[in-house]
Amino acid sequence: MNEEHLLTILGQCQKAMPWMIESLTFTADELNDGDYEPNNCRWATKEQQSANSRSALQITARGKTQNLSAWARELGMSVSGLHRRWHTHGTIERRA
């Protein structure tokens, strides 16, 4: 899919769901490496896109893997505080 075709699709989405495009809360996101084609795209929030980026720190603890931001939300911590804990102690858990 070329850029012109993508812009045509986005224009059609804007007519169907102007609130989505105008609020800028969703952007086109490719699911796998490749082109922005209908079977390889989704509407995603900026948070979803950053969580799925290659640079997002993935942490496995308590039987699941999540990115640093998701763990911080779950633990009620700031991202910077959890990042410091992870790099200092190698765990998301509070030290006794």
Decide which of 55 and 16 is more confident: 55
Q: Is the pLDDT of residue 25 over 80?
A: no
My answer on whether 63 and 84 are in the same domain is yes
With respect to residue 13, please indicate whether it lies within any of the assigned structural domains.
yes
With respect to residue 94, please indicate whether it lies within any of the assigned structural domains.
no
pTM score of the predicted model: 0.55
Amino acid at 22: E
* Residue 60: per-residue pLDDT: 94
The mean-pLDDT minimum among 9-18, 33-42, 62-71 falls in 9-18
Amino acid at 68: L
My answer on whether 47 and 62 are in the same domain is no
As a whole number, the mean pLDDT across the chain is: 76
User: How far are the Cα atoms of 40, 76, 78 from residue 64, in angstroms, in the given order?
Assistant: 26, 17, 20
Query: What's the DSSP call for residue 81?
Result: H
Give the structural domain span for 40: 3-51
With respect to residue 68, please indicate whether it lies within any of the assigned structural domains.
yes
* Residue 82: per-residue pLDDT: 95
Q: Report the domain count for the chain.
A: 2
Q: Each residue of 59-95: pLDDT tens digit?
A: 999 999 998 989 999 999 999 999 999 999 999 998 8
